Structure formats: C-alpha cells, structure tokens
Structure 1
Amino acid sequence: MTKPLTSKEMMEYWHYSKQTFRRRRRECEQTPYRDAILQDGPRKIYVNNDRWAEFIKYRTRKYYEKMYGLDDLRNSKQFA
C-alpha cells in the first residue's frame, strides 16, 4: 500500500477543485470503495490513492452503464 495522501495532495494529484473533491468524496462514501477515505477526526482526511483509482474506474463503468446501457463499452458490438 502506498502512503495515504492528504486532501490537499489529493486535489493536486487528480487536479480537483475543493468542491469537486468534496462531491467525489461524498459519492465514494456511498459505494463499496468507501475505504479509500480515511477520516482522522472531523477535519483530517487522508485518501488511499490506489483504492481511489479503483473507485474512479467503478465510477466510469457506472457512467457507461447509465449513458449507453452497456456493461463495458470496449466489448460492445455496437462500437466494435
């Protein structure tokens, strides 16, 4: 496991604004990937970047399912 990132490091790494990070964090907390967020008190937040990357992949899959009704865009005969 890599060293957890602070919220500031996370925003710099992924090029997120504060608001975008807050929205993504709230969304992540509602998924099976909620263990990517490490809460150390009310104001200290760390992020497991490896697990966060898995959450982003999950988010992408959900987007394609919602937009195109596909399980995996790359394996769709429609777009082959």
Structure 2
Amino acid sequence: MNFDDWLRAFAAELHQRRVATDAARHVVAEAATHLREGGGDPWQVFGPPQAYAAAIVESIGTAPGTSAGTPGAPCSPGTSPAVRARS
C-alpha cells in the first residue's frame, strides 16, 4: 500500500466511523501534509489506517447526531486533531 492508498483507506475509515465530512477532510489533509513534509512510510508514522481513524474518533468524535464514538473536545488553538491523536 503506497502513500495515496493509505490516505484513501484512512479517509474511508473516517467516513465509515461517521466523522464529519469537513473534519475528515481536514485530518486527511493534515496527515498528507505531515507525510509530504516529513517523509516516511504512513504505516510507520501513523500505523494502520483503521487504528489511526479510531484514534481520531476518540480525539474529535463523530458528526452530530451519529451513534458511533463519543464527541470529543474541540482542538486547542494550534493543535490539530491529527497531532492530538498521536499524542
């Protein structure tokens, strides 16, 4: 699985877990930027797309009105959901 395949799988996992569309796009874009700027294999940096999506759901929750996950607290200024999930 290459870089683009990992990002597609990650985006699909976020969608399946009912993360709000705008939030999912933002998190996927941040992951892509992090990988482009820092290099590295997404499997080594973030782990399996399924596991990373689960961490994101724990961090930011799901879209309002969905039953999957628990809504999370908003991000602190300067702290992205992607970074908080890895912490």
Larger Rg: 1
Same fold per TM (> 0.5)? no
Structure 1 length-normalised TM = 0.34
- The structure in which a higher percent of residues are strand is 1
Q: Compute the TM-score of the two structures, normalised by the length of structure 2.
A: 0.32
Query: Which is bigger in relative contact order (C-alpha 8 A, separation at least 6)?
Result: 2
